[in-house]
Amino acid sequence: MTKLGRYEVLERAARLAALADEEAASPDPALVQNAAGKGWIAARMAAAPVAECKTGHRPRGTERLRRVIEDLAERSPDMLPLDAHLSRAFADLHLRCSEGGECSPSQIRRMVRAIGEKLVPAAGAACGWAPPAASLGGVRRGARRRS
């Protein structure tokens, strides 16, 4: 199995969100619940960590990620709330990238993590699902392992 590039993941997330949108309009309650699940998965895909490139700059990837998340938030505003602070921070990060300023991979990762922390629990709660805590954060750096 090959690893997907960041663009492929975002494109799949956008397609999944579009499919969820179509199913949400269905009169069948099973399809509507299925659409909620697809929306949750699409949000999780869109919030996955951004891969670093050789130069450390990913303005195009950041822009596409912003568009996918805004699109998801537009399609289901009750499921994916983007608060004003997060939107401003993302816009600021994108502006720094697009104007040729420094946009380090760590800055992008921090922003994506913030988005994931906001979107995934909100989407999961709206669907009635709670993802395992380990899937949201992983092990903190420097944390000692207990044996």
In a domain, 108, yes or no: yes
The confidence score (pLDDT) of residue 88 equals 58
For residue 20, pLDDT beyond 60: yes
CB-based contact 136:121 (threshold 8 Å): yes
Owning domain of residue 114: 6-130
Strands (E), the chain: none
* Number of domains, the chain: 1
CB-based contact 105:56 (threshold 8 Å): yes
Neighbouring C-beta atoms of residue 132, cutoff 10 Å: 6
Top-ranked range on mean pLDDT: pick from 3-17, 61-75, 100-114, 117-131: 3-17
In a domain, 85, yes or no: yes
Neighbouring C-beta atoms of residue 53, cutoff 10 Å: 12
In a domain, 98, yes or no: yes
In a domain, 144, yes or no: no
The larger pLDDT score, comparing residue 147 to residue 19, is at 19
How does pLDDT run across 41-80, given as a tens digit for each residue? 666 666 654 443 344 444 455 555 556 556 655 655 554 4
Q: What is the pTM of this model?
A: 0.34
In a domain, 60, yes or no: yes
What single-letter DSSP state applies at residue 140?
Answer: P
Write down the mean pLDDT value for the chain: 58
In a domain, 44, yes or no: yes
In a domain, 146, yes or no: no
Neighbouring C-beta atoms of residue 23, cutoff 10 Å: 19
The confidence score (pLDDT) of residue 22 equals 77
In a domain, 58, yes or no: yes
For residue 23, pLDDT beyond 50: yes
